[in-house]
Structure formats: C-alpha cells, structure tokens
Amino acid sequence: MGASGAERTSYERALDLIVRGAEPLPAEVAPLDQCGGRVLAEDVVAGVNVPAYARSAVDGFAVRARDLLSATSSSPVVLEIVGSSRPGEPASAALPARACVRVATGAALPDGADAVVMLEDVDELDQGSRRAVRFSRDARAGKHVITIGEDVRAGEVLLRRGRVLRAHDLGVAASLEVAALLVLGRPRVEVLVTGNEIVPPGAPRGGSQIVDSNSVVIRELAGRDGARVAAVRYLADDPAVLSATLRTSDADAILISGGSSVGAEDHAPRVLAELGQVLVRGVSIRPGGPTTFGRYGDKWVFLLPGHPLACLTAYELLAGPLLRVIGGHPAAWPHPVLHVPLLEPIESVAGRTDFVRVTLDDDGARPLRHHTGSSNLSAAVRADGAILIPSATEHLACGEGVRVFLF
C-alpha cells in the first residue's frame, strides 16, 4: 500500500531522521590532490618553518647592513661582489665583511647577510677582474628580506579539525612539507536509474522512450555536496535485478531514480523493505511527495521520484543533506539565502511543505507561475532560487518577507 498525502511523513520529521541518524564516515589519510572540499579530521601543526631559510624579496645585492652605515650620495661605499645566489643555487660561502653577493628574488641569503639592496638603487662598477657595487645610501637590517618562519612558525596550529579544505589550505599544507592529510571519508554514491522507458543521455531514443536527465543532475549535485558518484547504472523494471544490485553495492549511499511511487512497476519500496528498513515512505512535500528512504546494512538508500523536477527537489531537500552530513559538512543549504519581500501571494496546503521556484528582481521575489509541473526541469533553469513554505503555513501575502534559497 502506498502512503496517501495524509499518511506521508512531514518534511521536518524526515529531515530530522536524516540529520540525527546520519554519522560522518570514518577518517582516512588522503593525498593532498584528493583533499579539496573535504573535512579535516585532525589539527595540522606546522612541523617546519616557512620559509625554512632567509631569502631575498627582490633582485639585488645581499649585504651586511653595518657595512653601509656611512653610505651617502656624496660619500658612497663600494663593496666587492664575491658571489651570487639564485633559487636552488645558494652562495657557496658566508658573506665576509665589506663585500656583497648578487641575489635573485626568492634566493637564499648567504650566512652573515641581513639586508638586500635593490638593483635599481645601486651602481655596478667594472674594475677589470674585480667587480664591485657602489652604494649611495645605507640599508636597514631586514630590508627586503623574507625571514625564517615569516609565513608560518614551526609548532603553529595552522588548520583546525573540522575545517572544509580549500585550495589555499592545501597550498599551505604543501608548503609545510605535508603530502597527505587525515580527512573524513568522502561519501561514495551509486545512482540507479530504473524504468524500461529510460535511455542514457546521448543514446538513440525510440518513440516512447525518455532520455535520462536525473543522473546528470544527481551527479553534479552530489559532487557539489562532497560526494563521489562511483557508478550510474540503468536497470529494467525487475525487482530481482534491483535486489541483486542493492545486495552487491559497496556504496555509502544509493540513490534510485524512479520507481518510488505506487504503480505496478514501482518495485523499489518493496525491495528496500525486504532487504533492509524503510524509514520514510513518502514525504509531504511538493514536488517530490513519493520520496522514500531507508537503510540497508550501513548503506542509506533513497528512492527519488522519476519526474525530473520532483527528483531535483527531493535531492535538494533530503538526499543532499544526507550526503553532506556523512561527509562531515553541515546539513544546511549549501548556497546563499536571501531575505527579500514577496511580490505576489502564494497559496499552500496545511501539512505540506512546498518548494516554490521564484525569480528575483530589484524589488523582491516573484513565484514562477508556468512550467512548474513536477516533470518540468526547466522550471529550475528559469528560476533564481526557491521559497520553502513550511507545513504549518497556508498563505504567504504579497509584501511578506521570505527566504529565497538560491540555486
């Protein structure tokens, strides 16, 4: 028996079951190039100074500042060039008194040097076999020098546990000579597309067949939410095939597109009940009411409606929060939320949560009145975001302040 609208679980209750029941995946060590967007499972403490050696911030000459204390335009100081330092090719010896070393930007300062004078501030002299530099002003110790540990000091806690790792976080980790990090597991997702009438994108379509768009949408949204879609499989409307596929899957979450309703070919709820546990059979949301989910062993299984807009809505409101939670991210909406006035009234139904697509202009949000059927994915393309009308609300008035969840 399918759940009627009155028997369906409220959206608030369904979401609570997910947020309270889902646990982050165990931590694992991953190389840096696989850590972007993942959640750090332990503090990162700098084991080295960055930089590890003093280096020049400019092209110029490394000097001992005290050797130039008397340098003026009228009484310049001349220092002999005794070597050079380039990135990866430091000077071969310490800097003696009354001498200088040519340095390139980023090159190590020779021992004894404590300042750098830029090329444009000196005059190079050719004295036969002896090359020298004329300095017409003094140099302050530390001038144009990047000091040891100026960026990061050894022992500093630079990245905290629970941080969502961004590109610059990984760059800093690399500079700390770290090749891998302990991060929470990345959810592994399988997408099962059911229906004898469904063909993959790009495949030839017969007269009564439908091109699958749901797996394309789910793959992209799952990636946004920190998960990895390991496989997309197309299954016939055969409960034995679906059962065998669920039993052999090693995914953390299985998202099934289609077959969640109460028709003769909608086998997925029964198969899930036979193999595991159905937690929710139908959710009081529009679109997406047939959405069903449960557990099979340690796997989460979501039965998403086959209609594209309903599938998108069910993912955004329920499956997306699940993937974010098990990956260690907040369950909350992953995009900005705007507070704006409503430009037209909206009627709803008590006991049902409506996900109403809206467009935005300078004055506020306007509900999308056309192309809103549950099979019309273009409604999401035409909209800027959506308003979530709570189950206790039957009417939103023109001018009322609303939250727009941006796409």
Does residue 37 sit in the same domain as residue 18? no
The per-residue pLDDT for 370 is 76
Calculate the average pLDDT of the chain.
Answer: 94
List pLDDT tens digits, range 269-321: 999 999 999 999 999 999 999 999 999 999 999 999 999 999 999 999 999 99
Strands 157-159 and 145-146: unpaired
CA angle (124, 130, 131) in 5-degree steps: 20
Bridge partners (DSSP) listed for residue 13: none
Last residue of a domain, one of 84, 119, 146: 146
Last residue of a domain, one of 326, 358, 390: 326
The answer as to whether 152 is a domain residue is: no
The per-residue pLDDT for 264 is 55
Does residue 191 sit in the same domain as residue 286? yes
Distances in Å between the alpha carbon of 204 and those of 191, 200, 201? Answer: 21, 9, 9
Give the CATH number, domain containing residue 75: 2.170.190.11
Asked if residues 384 and 359 have their Cβ atoms less than 8 Å apart, the reply is: yes
Give the CATH number, domain containing residue 287: 3.40.980.10
Does residue 247 sit in the same domain as residue 308? yes
Number of domains composing the chain: 4
CA gap 212, 199 in Å, rounded = 6
List pLDDT tens digits, range 29-61: 999 999 999 999 999 999 999 999 999 999 999
The per-residue pLDDT for 2 is 44
Distances in Å between the alpha carbon of 341 and those of 394, 403, 404? Answer: 17, 9, 10
**Mean of the pLDDT values across residues 333-359?**
95
Report pTM.
0.86
**Mean of the pLDDT values across residues 342-354?**
94
3-state secondary structure of 125: strand
CA dihedral 303, 307, 312, 316 (to 10 degrees): -40
Last residue of a domain, one of 121, 146, 171: 146
Distances in Å between the alpha carbon of 325 and those of 288, 296, 357? Answer: 21, 18, 25
Burial of 403 (0-12, 13-18, 19+ CB in 10 A): middle
List pLDDT tens digits, range 212-238: 999 999 999 999 999 999 999 999 889
The answer as to whether 2 is a domain residue is: no
| Residue 122 C-beta-side C-alpha neighbours within 13 Å | 26
Check whether 263 has a pLDDT greater than 70: no
Does residue 289 sit in the same domain as residue 199? yes
The answer as to whether 331 is a domain residue is: no
Q: To which residue do tokens 């690399």 refer?
A: 174
CA gap 403, 108 in Å, rounded = 55
Burial of 75 (0-12, 13-18, 19+ CB in 10 A): exposed
Its domain, for residue 192, covers 9-25+186-326
CA dihedral 237, 243, 248, 254 (to 10 degrees): 70
**Mean of the pLDDT values across residues 349-362?**
95
Does residue 171 sit in the same domain as residue 294? no
The answer as to whether 154 is a domain residue is: no
Strands 99-103 and 77-85: parallel
Does residue 276 sit in the same domain as residue 194? yes
The answer as to whether 122 is a domain residue is: yes
Asked if residues 227 and 302 have their Cβ atoms less than 8 Å apart, the reply is: no
The answer as to whether 153 is a domain residue is: no
Does residue 104 sit in the same domain as residue 139? yes
The per-residue pLDDT for 4 is 46
Does residue 226 sit in the same domain as residue 308? yes
Q: Closest Cα to residue 358, out of 371, 373, 369?
A: 369
The answer as to whether 4 is a domain residue is: no
Does residue 191 sit in the same domain as residue 245? yes
List pLDDT tens digits, range 152-206: 999 999 999 999 999 999 999 999 999 999 999 999 999 999 988 999 999 888 8
Does residue 113 sit in the same domain as residue 229? no
List pLDDT tens digits, range 112-134: 999 999 999 999 998 777 899 99
The answer as to whether 222 is a domain residue is: yes
Give the CATH number, domain containing residue 165: 3.90.105.10
Does residue 215 sit in the same domain as residue 89? no
Does residue 15 sit in the same domain as residue 37? no
- Assign residue 258 a region (left: φ > 0; alpha: ψ between -120 and 50; beta: otherwise): left
The per-residue pLDDT for 51 is 95
CA gap 270, 275 in Å, rounded = 9
Q: To which residue do tokens 């979450």 refer?
A: 253
